[in-house]
Amino acid sequence: MSDDFELPSHQRDALDALPREAVPPADVEERTVRALRARGLLRTTTSHTVRWAAAAAAAVLLFVAGFAAGRRTAGPKRDEAAPVRAAVQPDSATRVVAWF
């Protein structure tokens, strides 16, 4: 646009007095969210929270199960067929038995 066109001062003052942004109605956000959810474009936050909590519970359960399995299998096993070595000291009556 060209700056050759000048408005009269009373019109320029009237334009300057207009608000620079329009305030939307109070319920426009609620109606928009409701419409987006009805179309399936917006999910509720509770489904995200429930999904996250379920994943955390599964992780804890998996950790506890792994810990229990490790404790059960990591201990030393005594094999009944394993040889027993006995060390007898000739000076004393003490006998030391070691399982291998």
Domain boundaries, the chain: 9-76
CB 15 within 8 A of CB 6: no
The pLDDT of residue 99 is 57
Which of 4-8, 58-62, 92-96: highest mean pLDDT? 58-62
Average pLDDT, stretch 35-51? 83
Where residue 44 falls among pLDDT bands split at 50, 70, 90?
A: confident
* Amino acid sitting at position 37: R
Q: Is this prediction's pTM over 0.85?
A: no
E strand map for the chain? 84-88, 95-99
Q: How far apart are CA 66 and CA 72, in angstroms?
A: 10
Which of 3-12, 38-47, 52-61: highest mean pLDDT? 52-61
For the chain, first and last CA: distance in Å?
A: 97
